[in-house]
């Protein structure tokens, strides 16, 4: 028997009512995020295709380990997308911070058996590099196609790794307890008297679209970067038809991502994304 929700009994029925609110949020957020839906799908498809490339280095230890981390990146990416559409941008940021770190690991160890061995040799199974070190290694890989023992003294490199580290810290700040994110988290559940309800509530405000787009930019760009580095490390021949198809698709995703950033109002300065031109040169 269905019971009506009243001011007295609503706490006992809010769990099921919340599911209805989330369905409504999906409908409303889909309209605001519709331009990103196709790009998110394309980027996921690109990542799925990367492990199927057959090159000279396919099957080496580092790529086998990187494939496991890439799988985690893809799962996190799907989680970010679902949270954003359900109306939980800060929860999406929490998952995105995991995506970010795992993507950096893929960037760093793909094609580097020595670095993969450092992870495998850790007695606790931990990645042995701190986020700042990972950011520097990943920036080298993105800019130069390789990680050198001595980081270059280069203006572009300095900007790239600092931006990479900045975006990671940004996601972590949204994950950790701060007054800034709590103020925003409670504001969409505030009534006319300035009181907020202490309940989970999907965020469907127009003012939160920018935050959701920013998280999507970071998530898509890191998944793209991880898929690109994994593909590079397979060391496919330039005349391989499937490799050529993958490269063309990567170039399309890259172009779409740049266009989405430029039209979102977020600005290209938020994130560094390197063009996939080296795919054919390895």
d(CA 62, CA 49): 18
State pLDDT tens for residues 49-82: 999 999 999 999 999 999 999 999 999 999 999 9
Asked whether 63 and 234 are in contact (CB, 8 A), the reply is: yes
Residue 42 confidence (pLDDT) = 97
* Over residues 268-274, mean pLDDT: 47
Section 36-44 average pLDDT: 95
pTM reported for the whole predicted model: 0.89
pLDDT at 48: 97
Is the model's pLDDT at 1 over the cut of 70? no
Query: How much is the pLDDT for 10?
Result: 87
137, 152, 271 from 133: Cα distances, Å: 6, 14, 18
Residues 6+ away with beta carbon under 8 Å from 108 = 115, 129, 134, 137, 138, 141, 147
**112-138 pLDDT per residue, tens:** 999 999 999 999 999 999 999 999 999
Burial of 56 (C-beta count, 10 Å sphere; 0-12/13-18/19+): exposed
- pLDDT (0 to 100) of residue 277: 46
Other C-beta atoms within 10 Å of 122: how many? 11
Write out the two tokens for 81: 């997308």
Of these ranges, 10-24, 42-56, 265-279, the one predicted with the greatest mean pLDDT is 42-56
pLDDT value at residue 282? 28
| Per-residue model confidence (pLDDT) at position 276 | 52
- Backbone angle region of 274, left / alpha / beta, with phi > 0 → left and psi within -120 to 50 → alpha: beta
Tokens of 253: 């995703």
Contact 260, 39 (CB under 8 A): yes
pLDDT at 266 over 80: no
Above 60 in pLDDT, residue 187? yes
Mean pLDDT rounded to a whole number for the chain = 89
Q: What percent of the chain is predicted at pLDDT more than 90?
A: 66
Evaluate whether 82 touches 24 at the Cβ level (below 8 Å). Answer: no
Q: Is the pLDDT of residue 268 over 80?
A: no
Confidence at residue 270, expressed as pLDDT on a 0 to 100 scale: 47
For residues 247 and 251, give the distance between their C-alpha atoms in angstroms, rounded to a whole number: 6
pLDDT level of residue 279 (50, 70, 90 thresholds): very low
Q: 132-149 as b/e, with b when 16 or more CB fall inside 10 Å?
A: ebbbbbbbbbbbebebee
pLDDT of residue 3: 61
Q: How far apart are CA 177 and CA 1, in angstroms?
A: 41
Kindly tell me if the per-residue pLDDT of 239 is higher than 50: yes
Tell me the HSE value of 254 on the side-chain side, using a 13 A CA sphere: 17
Cα→Cα distances 14→1, 8, 11, 72, 151, Å: 17, 12, 5, 32, 54
The encoded tokens of residue 119 equal 């992870």
Tokens encoding 197: 């309800």
DSSP 271: -
Choose the most confident range, by mean pLDDT, from 8-12, 24-28, 113-117: 113-117
**Mean pLDDT across 167-178:** 92
């Amino acid at each position: 028997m269905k019971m009506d929700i009243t001011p007295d009994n609503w706490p006992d029925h809010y769990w099921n009512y919340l599911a209805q609110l989330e369905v409504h949020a999906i409908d409303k957020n889909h309209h605001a995020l519709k331009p990103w839906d196709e790009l998110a799908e394309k980027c996921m498809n690109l990542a799925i295709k990367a492990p199927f490339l057959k090159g000279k280095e396919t099957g080496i230890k580092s790529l086998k380990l990187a494939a496991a981390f890439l799988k985690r990146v893809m799962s996190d990416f799907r989680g970010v997308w679902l949270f954003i559409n359900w109306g939980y941008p800060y929860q999406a940021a929490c998952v995105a911070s995991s995506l970010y770190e795992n993507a950096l690991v893929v960037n760093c160890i793909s094609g580097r058996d020595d670095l993969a061995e450092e992870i495998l040799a850790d007695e606790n199974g931990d990645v042995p590099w701190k986020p700042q070190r990972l950011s520097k290694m990943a920036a080298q890989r993105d800019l130069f196609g390789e990680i050198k023992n001595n980081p270059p003294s280069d203006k572009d490199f300095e900007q790239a790794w600092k931006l990479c580290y900045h975006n990671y810290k940004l996601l972590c700040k949204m994950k950790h307890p701060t007054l800034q994110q709590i103020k925003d988290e409670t504001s969409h559940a505030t009534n006319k008297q300035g009181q907020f309800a202490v309940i989970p509530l999907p965020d469907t405000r127009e003012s939160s679209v920018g935050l959701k787009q920013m998280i999507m930019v970071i998530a898509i760009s890191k998944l793209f970067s991880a898929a690109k580095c994994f593909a590079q490390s397979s060391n496919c021949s330039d005349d391989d038809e499937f490799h050529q198809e993958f490269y063309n698709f990567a170039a399309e995703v890259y172009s779409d991502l740049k266009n989405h950033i430029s039209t979102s109002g977020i600005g290209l300065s938020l994130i560094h994304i390197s063009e996939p031109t080296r795919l054919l040169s390895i």
